[in-house]
Amino acid sequence: GAGVSQSPSNKVTEKGKDVELRCDPISGHTALYWYRQSLGQGLEFLIYFQGNSAPDKSGLPSDRFSAERTGGSVSTLTIQRTQQEDSAVYLCASSPRDYQYNEQFFGPGTRLTVL
């Protein structure tokens, strides 16, 4: 079956512009996670959605970052007024249930470059 998909695969933007990154989770997966992978910081958790519950935003680095999940499926990560330090690969993962034994399935990522 289809895995987690992310778009675009690459995004180049100018400092100060807003960007939107999209994640399509595996059908039926109720949990969705965003992570960021950068040279300086490694892999960091950003935000977590589970069903209709309020998202866990504890990993978002600043208020320029936000995310939403519509209809319990597709998610969009928005970065406003991008900065050069936002350059990274943004990874999305989904999991079949909100369960401590979850296995997260990762998408290929979106590589963001801020000039």
Partner 1 sequence: AQSVTQPDIHITVSEGASLELRCNYSYGATPYLFWYVQSPGQGLQLLLKYFSGDTLVQGIKGFEAEFKRSQSSFNLRKPSVHWSDAAEYFCAVALYNQGGKLIFGQGTELSVKP
Is residue 39 a contact point for partner 1 (CB under 8 A)? no
Q: Which is nearer to partner 1, 107 or 112 (CB)?
A: 107
Burial class (CB in 10 A: 0-12, 13-18, 19+), 1: exposed
Q: Which of 19, 79, 88, 91 binds partner 1 (CB under 8 A)?
A: 91
Is residue 102 a contact point for partner 1 (CB under 8 A)? yes
The one segment of 17-25, 31-39, 64-72, 73-81 that binds partner 1 by CB under 8 A:
31-39
Is residue 52 a contact point for partner 1 (CB under 8 A)? no
Q: Which of 7, 20, 22, 59 binds partner 1 (CB under 8 A)?
A: 59
Burial class (CB in 10 A: 0-12, 13-18, 19+), 38: middle
> Phi and psi for 84 in degrees, rounded to 5?
-60, -30
> Phi and psi for 85 in degrees, rounded to 5?
-70, -5
Is residue 109 a contact point for partner 1 (CB under 8 A)? yes
